Amino acid sequence: MSDFEMYSKETCEEAIKNFQEKLKDADNLKKDNNGNLDYESCWRALRKEGPMILNVTKHLYTEYMKTYPVHSRSNEDER
């Protein structure tokens, strides 16, 4: 997973907060003039926030994988 940039704690927190706000917006989706749900705002938010939240996810997964062997060994010891 070397195709992403490592982020600071503050950047990760901001990305998560922004993504949560966009999810709330999607839950409260408004209708357009024709009475249809207006998905354009969700698409724009996904295009804007999606790359950052994907990289945060990759960052967290990489950090988890660094500790995975430790967790895996401790589970084997318990058996």
pLDDT at 7: 73
Task: Assess whether pLDDT exceeds 60 at residue 19.
Answer: yes
Identify the weakest region by mean pLDDT among 2-11, 24-33, 45-54: 2-11
Sign of CA dihedral 28, 29, 34, 36: negative
Q: The tokens of 65 are what?
A: 């994988």
> Where are the domains positioned within the chain?
10-78
Torsion from C-alpha of 41, 47, 49, 55, nearest 10 degrees: 160
pLDDT at position 66: 82
| Residues 53, 16 contacting (CB under 8 angstroms) | yes
Reply yes or no on whether the pLDDT at 72 is more than 70.
no
With bands split at pLDDT 50, 70 and 90, how would you rate the model's confidence at 40?
confident
